[in-house]
């Protein structure tokens, strides 16, 4: 089966809790050339803030996904193409593997047609995602490759996400995760700031995810990362 992300080189993650650079609008964001927008962020994100971003993006053709960090912030909005729900493979707290998901499944009728999961491997111990999931980040390339295999072969995950949120990761680790996968799509996210970072990680991952750069530097910088990954994949 062809999944939408099979064709994505670049995903832009918009944090509803952070503002855009002065003078930039969501119209500018949608014209960066990114293949998809993921609206998601930390635990402080509220459903209201999510809705505000989704509504600002709705007039455009760029696929729009919500990445809910917990069940309380899930929004139903017809502008969304779907939900990408994180599952953290190396979480120390099982709440982030099945617990949050169980709470969600019992309170809501999930829209399964539009719901998929991302198997995160969280690798920056300084990142808030590592802290609140109590992730074991002390992993070498072999460990990460093994987690990628477990995600795909045992848990049937179609997206494996090597997450260094806030720092540029080790390209060898990203490459090891990629080599371990048969068909699953490898997302890489963390610390991509420019063309060269995007090119380097794009040589190893199927899809790169850019986050803070949008809020810190703006749309021109994001556009460069789109070019970087596209050139790496050419
Ligand atoms: C965060 O992987 C994304 O979930 C992107 O990371 O914010 O460091 O670009 P950055």
Q: How far apart are CA 123 and CA 164, in angstroms?
A: 5
Q: How far apart are CA 161 and CA 182, in angstroms?
A: 14
Are 145 and 160 contacting, i.e. CB atoms less than 8 angstroms apart? no
Which residues does residue 121 pair with via DSSP β-bridges, in sequence order?
162
Q: Is the CB of 90 under 6 A from ligand 1?
A: no
From atom 2 of ligand 1, which residue's Cα is the shortest distance away? 189
**3-class DSSP state of 9:** coil
Give the pLDDT band of residue 10 (cuts 50, 70, 90). Answer: very high
Q: Is the CB of 165 under 6 A from ligand 1?
A: yes
Mean pLDDT of 58-73: 89
From atom 1 of ligand 1, which residue's Cα is the shortest distance away? 165
Return the pLDDT at 46. 84
CB burial of residue 47 (10 Å; 0-12, 13-18, 19+): middle
Q: How far apart are CA 187 and CA 176, in angstroms?
A: 13
Return the pLDDT at 97. 96
Q: Is the CB of 212 under 6 A from ligand 1?
A: yes
| 13 Cα to the center of ligand 1, angstroms | 7
Q: How far apart are CA 153 and CA 140, in angstroms?
A: 20
Q: Is the CB of 192 under 6 A from ligand 1?
A: yes
Q: How far apart are CA 202 and CA 233, in angstroms?
A: 7
Q: Is the CB of 162 under 6 A from ligand 1?
A: no
From atom 9 of ligand 1, which residue's Cα is the shortest distance away? 211
pLDDT tens-digit map of 134-158: 999 999 999 999 999 999 999 999 9
Atom of ligand 1 nearest to the CA of 129: 4
pLDDT tens-digit map of 167-210: 999 999 999 999 999 999 999 999 999 999 999 999 999 999 99
Domains and CATH numbers, the chain: 4-233 (3.20.20.390)
Atom of ligand 1 nearest to the CA of 212: 7
Give the pLDDT band of residue 39 (cuts 50, 70, 90). Answer: very high
Atom of ligand 1 nearest to the CA of 163: 2
Q: Could you give the dihedral angle defined by the CA atoms of residues 106, 114, 36 and 130, in that order, rounded to the nearest 10 degrees?
A: 20
| 167 Cα to the center of ligand 1, angstroms | 8
Q: Is the CB of 207 under 6 A from ligand 1?
A: no
Atom of ligand 1 nearest to the CA of 210: 9
Quickly count: other Cβ atoms within 10 Å of residue 17's Cβ.
15
Residue 190 backbone zone (phi > 0: left; psi -120 to 50: alpha; other: beta): left
From atom 4 of ligand 1, which residue's Cα is the shortest distance away? 165
């Amino acid at each position: 089966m062809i999944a939408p992300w099979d064709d994505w080189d670049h995903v832009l993650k918009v944090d509803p809790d952070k503002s855009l650079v002065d003078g930039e609008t969501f119209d500018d964001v949608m014209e960066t050339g990114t293949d998809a927008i993921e609206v998601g962020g930390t635990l402080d994100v509220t459903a209201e803030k999510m809705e505000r971003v989704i509504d600002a993006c709705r007039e455009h053709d760029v696929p729009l996904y919500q990445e809910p960090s917990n069940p309380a912030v899930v929004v139903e909005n017809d502008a969304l193409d779907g939900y990408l729900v994180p599952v953290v493979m190396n979480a120390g707290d099982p709440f982030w593997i099945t617990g949050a998901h169980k709470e969600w499944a019992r309170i809501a009728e999930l829209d399964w047609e539009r719901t998929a999961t991302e198997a995160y491997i969280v690798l920056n111990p300084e990142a808030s995602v590592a802290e609140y999931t109590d992730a074991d980040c002390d992993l070498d390339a072999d460990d990460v490759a093994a987690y990628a295999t477990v995600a795909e072969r045992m848990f049937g995950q179609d997206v494996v996400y090597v997450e260094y949120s806030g720092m540029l990761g080790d390209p060898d680790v990203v490459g090891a995760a990629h080599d371990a996968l048969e068909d699953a799509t490898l997302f890489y996210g963390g610390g991509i700031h420019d063309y060269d970072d995007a090119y380097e990680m794009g040589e190893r991952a199927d899809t790169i995810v850019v986050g803070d750069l949008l809020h810190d530097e703006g749309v021109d910088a994001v556009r460069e990362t789109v070019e970087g990954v596209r050139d790496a994949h050419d």
